[in-house]
Amino acid sequence: MLDYKLLEALATVLEVGGFERAGDVLGLTQSAISQRIKALEVRLGQPVLVRHPHLAATPAGQRLLNHYQRVCLLERELGHALPTLEVASPRLRIAVNADSLVTWWASAVSDFCQREDVLLDLVIEDQDVGLKRLRDGDVAACLCASDQPIAGARCVPLGTMAYHPMATPRYIARYFPDGPTESAFRRAPAIVYGPHDQLQHRFLARFGYHGPFPYHLCPESEGFVRLASAGMGYGMMPMMQVREPVERGELISLAPGHALEVPLYWHFWRHSGTLLERLTSTLRAVHLT
């Protein structure tokens, strides 16, 4: 049997980002934490942590962490059956895409978390990285736009989010006086989430435009909306994120009827107890609009 005290030390060091703080959390000295990590590495015959460029698990450490988190979830089930055990509430580590997090996510899971006494450890990632984290066992579930299945995980479709090309009326009057034309696309500053953001390209392709265009890069969902609201550019945004500025007339679509539908999928480990199953049921009940 593994010594779970060692795994707990590893998980805590990674969660709080340091040996001294992990000691504070577990009521141990920093040196006791170091000894536990060392003991784990001796047993495993290889390092579980790297220090540079920042504290992180090695692939082997990640495997151990994955296993530890699954055991915690199973212990939690046991704690419900045997309440006198007083099993601590686990923190559920989940990768979520930023647009969901700033729109429907919190209201969808709030009751669940309070009822089940669950704490969340949210990681903000877009699809490829989120799924990689799931595969590596770094997160227990991943909410993203990819339906690519991961071995050992289930994939459940949750619906779609509609993205509209939004900007201020003044911006549109200035840069799109004749609507979405090639010459407008060529000089109107767009706002793009990151180099891998395909929404802007998909939108332009709808109008047969594949040429260069000026753009700001802003990898933060709400900041993205703020740049558009300040008149700096236009960008593809989930309608549910901009309902208020739209109602106030601050943001409008520059091409009504040309929304892009982005599907959302929920990936989660099988065989990790029923907590994730119940969270999945909660998410299935959400009606994305």
Q: How far, in Å, are 81, 126, 163 from residue 256 at the CA level?
A: 54, 26, 11
Closest to its own copies by CB, 199 or 227 = 227
Closest CB 41 distance from its own copies, rounded Å: 22
Whole-angstrom distance, CA of residue 19 vs CA of residue 245: 45
Q: Which residues would be at the binding site for its own copies (CB under 8 A)?
A: 15-18, 21, 25, 89, 91, 96, 98, 101-103, 105-107, 109-110, 113-114, 119-124, 189, 194-196, 212, 214-223, 226-227, 229-232, 244
Enter the tokens of residue 125: 């990632």
Closest CB 1 distance from its own copies, rounded Å: 27
Closest to its own copies by CB, 53 or 256 = 53
If you search the block for the tokens 């679509």, which residue do you land on? 253
Closest CB 177 distance from its own copies, rounded Å: 16
DSSP 234: B
Closest to its own copies by CB, 42 or 230 = 230
Query: Are 168 and 250 contacting, i.e. CB atoms less than 8 angstroms apart?
Result: yes
Closest CB 25 distance from its own copies, rounded Å: 7
- What phi and psi values does residue 162 have, to the nearest 5 degrees? -95, 125
Q: Which amino acid is it at 259?
A: A
Closest CB 53 distance from its own copies, rounded Å: 9
Closest to its own copies by CB, 39 or 186 = 186
Closest CB 61 distance from its own copies, rounded Å: 15
Whole-angstrom distance, CA of residue 52 vs CA of residue 29: 23
Closest to its own copies by CB, 62 or 154 = 62
What pairing do the DSSP bridges indicate for beta strands 190-192 and 215-217? parallel
Residue 162 β-bridge partners = 261
Q: Nearest-5° angle of CA 204, CA 105, CA 142?
A: 75
Query: Are 90 and 72 contacting, i.e. CB atoms less than 8 angstroms apart?
Result: yes
Query: Are 241 and 221 contacting, i.e. CB atoms less than 8 angstroms apart?
Result: yes
Closest to its own copies by CB, 44 or 123 = 123
